[in-house]
Structure 1
Amino acid sequence: MSEARVASAPADIRPQVPLGLVVTISCLALFMVVLDATIVTVALPDMRTGLSLSTGQQQWVVSGYLVTLGGFLLLAARAGDLYGHRRVFLVGAAVFTVASLIGGLASGGGVLIGARIAQGAGAAALAPTSLSLITATHTDAHERERALSLWSMMSGVAGLVGVVLGGVLTAELSWRWVFFVNIPAGIVLLAIGARLVLPSALAERTRLDVFGALCVTLGIGALVYGLSEAADGWGSANVLLPLAAAVVLLAAFLVAEARSPHPLIPPELLRLRNLRVANLLMFCLGVTLTALMFFLSLYCQQVLGYSALRTGMAMLPITVVFIAGGLTSRRLISVVGPRPLLVAGGLLATAGIAWLSTISTDSSYPSHILGPNLVAGFGISLMLLAVTISGTVGVEPKNAGAASGLLNTSRQIGGAVGLAVLVNVASTLTSRASDTRGDLDALVQGYRAAFLVNAGLMLVAALAALALSAVGTAAAKHHEAPEGR
């Protein structure tokens, strides 16, 4: 059989495995990871009603997943290289599946948030190993490029399916099914993964920087918690103690990285200007991608009175244009290079989000929701591939995986930290407005303030892109950088 149809069993893969099966299992794993970042968004109001969640707990249903996903991505990628992709892949699938079951059965906010944190840890193991399975088996350049394109496209497809499926499941069954839907997919991953991937010998005399990974994850978690509690004032123990803990834990992470013989982030990467700027841009994109769906879902259901299903359908055009913009960027990037796309995309996103800040208690869908989100979504989609290429072109091959992982980590942590800040902004403005305005009008004032701050952040991203050194169009054309989530 030809190489296009059968893997020759490099790196942990069983001999004579059809490459189509490798791509299928890898794409299914990424689909689950990305789906769970978006599928819960539309279900949040029903979760709040069913479990009496506070505003902070609603935010943590999203942030808990993103914090652990971002915090453990680099550790999981390194563990797969050292201890075998099979072990990490199967452990990730098992943790993700069991956590989904617990989340669906949750009887309180604490259990639900704990399940989301566990889901994030499982997702952190699945995401990098799913990519490694493709790169290990596809040695032909053409087949590898096609497989990576399918894997990258799965991120956009999963985001699209997530908002719609979340609305359908919540409306027709209950919010619990946004978790239960993961269980059959997880069982398939476990069954096929166990048969597809060979066991490998344990690495000897190589230690993972587990302490560093725990410090950065707990530090970001403490930071997000402190920020989310600050709506009622910055002087309370609920704010100051977590923020102090975050400073200590993040400082411990930096010390651990400096002393570790096998750091999660190779020091030489931090000296690359383009990678530093690209991580800032990806952090900003993470904020916007997460906050846009979060606040839009709450606004549609809590202010406009949309059902969960109608909210999912209302957000569908946004995700469609998101995919279309991604395909457009693939064509344009080889013509103009990444930097012009980042500046143009950032300005479009700024304009769209600023337009969204004009919402009211009786906004029309075409002019106040659809229009601004199509503009913002297209701008964001122009940026994702461009920022990945800007951050990874010129990186030494031995550090390519770490550079890509760092970008993905910045995106997830940006989503968690940024959402905490914007929820704090919205809650503060809502609380102040509630003294003189009705409840719905006060909510809208908070959402408008959050969108304005987000628009300002995207303007900063557009300006920061000017600091990137030019990346040649030829390098961009031939660069095989997966977008991933």
Structure 2
Amino acid sequence: MSGPLFAAARGASARWWALAILALTELVVVLDATIITIALPQAQNDLGLSDSQRQWVVTAYALAFGSLLLLGGRIADYWGRKRAFMVGMVGFGAASAWGGLADSGAELIMARGVQGAFAALLAPAALAMVTVLFQHGRERNLAFAIFGTVAGTGAALGLFLGGVLTEFASWRWCLLVNLGFVAVGLIGGALLLRESRTDGEHRYDLAGTLTVTLGLGSLVYGFTLAEHGWGSADTVGFLALGILLLVAFAWLQARGTAPLLPPRVVLDAVRGGAFLIQAVVGAVLIGSMLYLTFHFQLVMGMSPLVSGLANLTMTAVVMVSTPFVTRALNAFGPRPLMIAGPLLSAMGLFYLTGITPDGSYAGQILPALGLLGIGLSFLFVPLQNLALSGIAPEEAGVASAAINSTFHIGGSIGLAVFTVIYDQAAARETTQATAFTEGYAAVFLASGIAMLVATALAIALIRPRPSDVQQELTTVTG
């Protein structure tokens, strides 16, 4: 490591101020996956977006972000984490301004893609700095609990903030608001963060970058085409191409001397399980919660502001639960939390399948959001800690990128698959309101099943003892 991450003269409190800046960064990155969601009906009318283009306003960001994160993590490790953080901030702000001033749907989608690309540089640099900054025991647990909770609640906070801005300003401010966050991040980063990077030979895996980016892009695009039929030539062709490219990526990583994603990062059972569960969480929070927002506005007739407030219930439950879950993690270890979390979340999603066109928020929605909030807090607190425990400092950036990537790629695939499920279920109904609710209910059912799969993954793969986790946390950097 080339020098200390933070100046010792600033004292221990500086690390926590730095954590606040880094957590704010993660909040903005996750928040931007959903902040535009509530504004989509307004943006669609303003720019004349088709339904397919409307979906790609969300997908372009998540796909660019998820597919480029591994490269962004390597750049942060090699080039310097603070430098990557600052450049990512500037680019993210510029892309946000472009999107907020867009004159067409195509321009908005391109700006969202550029946003995602710079977020892919910014996010792994931030998480890697947290990994290096907090290296021991309970302090590290607390830092990751804060960071993970901010990351996990960012999606719901994005819905709320998007509702406020759409109601009182315009959908454009859902992007322009990022300029304020960027200013705080740049000033805080300049004052508090110190450079860190890995030593030794720095080589970029360009073949790996190309195959994983094109593979993920082909896979997600293939899923979006499935609304025209799973057996169509385009759907099958893009899905097959995506799988082949990802297999080629895995082959290159196993044989390369400087792999983009070293196999040892993901082949550990606990860490690999955390990555897979994170992908499911991304699918649910980015993919299916979009349809809950549509239900609020298109069926229940809520304004964007009220819709955002309605979504905020889940976030409030997560935030209230987090201190208790953190104490439970220290007492019992991550395994019970990782099993109970997706199970409770699945119960909440299954409850949502009972929505009707004339149902009430208190009776049909509120209990489900409470269960989801508790279940997700059980996941957010230990998840990133598990995914990064035991990682060598020189691989902190790429491991941080992997955990972020799985969330957003899961969200991209989830959104594409849930859109197909919605279209097929809604097409069977005759009245518009019934078609909406039947389509949304089918999405929530599929999401609940996905969470049950996450429960099975936790039972099979998340098997550390509390003492093992504590030992790992105190020896991460040796």
Q: Is TM more than 0.5 here?
A: yes
* % identical equivalent positions: 37
- Residue of structure 2 in register with 1:472 after alignment: 465
1:109 to 105, 111, 126: 105
Q: Which has the higher contact order (CA 8 A, sep 6+)?
A: 2
Conservation of the 8 A alpha-carbon contact between 2:137 and 2:473: no
- Residue of structure 1 in register with 2:426 after alignment: 430
> How far apart are 1:463 and its partner, in Å?
2.0
Q: 1:105 to 1:471 in 2, by over 3 A?
A: same
Deviations 1:15-38 (A, max 9, x none): 856726533432332222122123
Deviations 1:65-94 (A, max 9, x none): 222222222222221221112331222112
1:418 to 406, 409, 414: 414
Matched, 1:297 2:263: no
Q: 1:450 to 1:88 in 2, by over 3 A?
A: same
1:385 to 381, 384, 388: 381
Deviations 1:124-143 (A, max 9, x none): 11112223444555678787
Aligned counterparts, 1:430-449, within 5 A? 430-433=426-429, 437-449=430-442
1:49 to 45, 54, 75: 45
> Which stretch of the first structure deviates more once superposed, 63-72 or 114-123?
63-72
Deviations 1:45-80 (A, max 9, x none): 222222232333222222222222222222222212
Deviations 1:369-396 (A, max 9, x none): 1111211221122123334444455556
Matched, 1:365 2:358: no
Conservation of the 8 A alpha-carbon contact between 1:11 and 1:136: no
2:446 to 443, 453, 456: 453
> How far apart are 1:122 and its partner, in Å?
1.2
> How far apart are 1:257 and its partner, in Å?
1.9
- Residue of structure 1 in register with 2:265 after alignment: 269
- Residue of structure 2 in register with 1:125 after alignment: 121
In structure 1, what is the Cα distance between the partners aligned to 2:456 and 2:17?
A: 43
Q: What is the TM-score with the length of structure 1 in the denominator?
A: 0.87
In structure 2, what is the Cα distance between the partners aligned to 1:54 and 1:387?
A: 37
Q: Which runs of 5+ in 1 are unaligned?
A: 1-8
1:229 to 203, 222, 225: 225
> How far apart are 1:424 and its partner, in Å?
0.8
> How far apart are 1:184 and its partner, in Å?
2.8
> How far apart are 1:288 and its partner, in Å?
1.3
> How far apart are 1:285 and its partner, in Å?
1.5
Conservation of the 8 A alpha-carbon contact between 1:389 and 1:476: no
Conservation of the 8 A alpha-carbon contact between 2:21 and 2:189: yes
Q: 1:405 to 1:53 in 2, by over 3 A?
A: same
Deviations 1:206-236 (A, max 9, x none): 2112332232223212211221121122344
> How far apart are 1:441 and its partner, in Å?
1.1
Matched, 1:330 2:323: no
Matched, 1:408 2:401: no
Conservation of the 8 A alpha-carbon contact between 1:97 and 1:182: yes
Secondary structure of the equivalent of 2:33? Answer: helix
Q: 1:393 to 1:448 in 2, by over 3 A?
A: same
In structure 1, what is the Cα distance between the partners aligned to 2:400 and 2:132?
A: 16
Secondary structure of the equivalent of 2:365? Answer: helix
Secondary structure of the equivalent of 1:358? Answer: coil
Matched, 1:462 2:455: yes
In structure 2, what is the Cα distance between the partners aligned to 1:283 and 1:112?
A: 26
Q: 1:94 to 1:377 in 2, by over 3 A?
A: same
In structure 2, what is the Cα distance between the partners aligned to 1:146 and 1:200?
A: 22
In structure 2, what is the Cα distance between the partners aligned to 1:364 and 1:240?
A: 41
Conservation of the 8 A alpha-carbon contact between 1:393 and 1:471: no
In structure 2, what is the Cα distance between the partners aligned to 1:465 and 1:196?
A: 37
**Aligned AA (1:347):** L
**Aligned AA (1:450):** V
Q: 1:306 to 1:478 in 2, by over 3 A?
A: farther
- Residue of structure 1 in register with 2:305 after alignment: 309
In structure 1, what is the Cα distance between the partners aligned to 2:7 and 2:348?
A: 48
1:72 to 60, 68, 72: 68
